[in-house]
Amino acid sequence: MCMKIFALQRCYSVAEGGCDKYWAEEVGVQDCGRYCLPGLPGYPECKGVWAGFEDTESSKVNPHTFYQRRPKACPICPLKEEFSHVKADIEKLENSAHVQGLIQAERTRAEQKEAAYKMHCFNEMWNTTRALIASLQSKADAIWNGIETALHGHFGAHGMANPVVQGLAASLVDAKKELVGHVESTTKEMATALVGPCHTFDLEREEAEESARLRDSGMATD
């Protein structure tokens, strides 16, 4: 018969650093000489079993005091103790001033990178917003100049003095302003929702419009 032999043991008490539980200790192997272990028996005459307890001690019922007189550490408790020591060393290392300094330095570096990336996104978004509005303004001005030229060509100087024609021209100018203003407002709202407000945007637009008015008035004077 092929059999692995185990002895029933009891670990040390909790106060002694053990778990106070029973466990099976492998103490030997009995085989039939056919070397079938650790698999199933390979021969009909081999009435093998997986495991069994030793006859003299573990196969009979022993009182608890029997195991308490001869405790033996189970394989798990020393590993737990070693793990607890390793964990304590790691915690001690983590709480050291050097490691805390490294952690804080990495945290600061990560925060700086995040802030730089957010600022990059902020600048890119508002630069794109400025470019979009300026492009629309330029296209609207070009379209209006074309319309104004066509009106002058069709009605002439005398016709342009007609109140009806002047009203039409004024309506077209108002429509251009409303279109540009609507796109500017919605684009500004979108950029604000995505990356936050740009507090200098309105001032920049006012300065640009004032510069355009001064430039146009200068050209008209010339």
Characterize the bridge pairing of strands 3-10 and 22-30. Answer: antiparallel
Distance CA 200, CA 197 (A): 9
- The answer to whether residue 150 sits within a structural domain is yes
Whether residue 117 lies inside any domain: the answer is no
Cα–Cα distance, 167 to 170 (Å, whole number): 5
For 128, 149, 174, 187, the CA distances from 142, given in Å and listed in that order, are 21, 11, 15, 21
Cα 89 to Cα 63: distance, rounded to the nearest angstrom: 40
- Residue at which a domain ends, from 74, 98, 133: 74
Shared domain check, 216 and 145: yes
Residue 63 sits in the same domain as residue 146: no
The rounded distance, in Å, linking the Cα atoms of 80 and 57 is 28
Same domain, 140 and 212: yes
> Looking at the whole model, is its pTM more than 0.75?
no
Number of domains in the chain: 2
Span 4-23, pLDDT tens digits? 777 888 888 888 888 888 88
In a domain, 56, yes or no: yes
Question: Range of 46's domain?
Answer: 3-74
Domain stops at, among 39, 54, 74 = 74
Residues 60-85: tens digit of each pLDDT: 555 556 666 778 889 999 898 899 89
Q: Name the domain boundary from 46, 74, 102.
A: 74
Q: Tell me whether residue 195 is in a domain.
A: yes
Residue 63, preceding peptide bond in cis (omega within 30° of 0)? no
Residues 129 and 198 in one domain: yes
Does residue 170 lie in a domain region?
Answer: yes
pLDDT of residue 199: 84
Burial class from Cβ neighbours inside 10 Å (0-12, 13-18, 19+) for residue 87 reads: exposed
Which pLDDT belongs to residue 59? 45
Q: Is residue 114 situated within a structural domain? A: no
- 65 with 138, same domain? no
Ranges of residues in the chain with a pLDDT under 50 are 56, 58-59
The answer on 195 and 129 residing in a single domain is yes
Q: Is residue 111 part of a domain?
A: no
**Is position 207 within any domain?**
yes
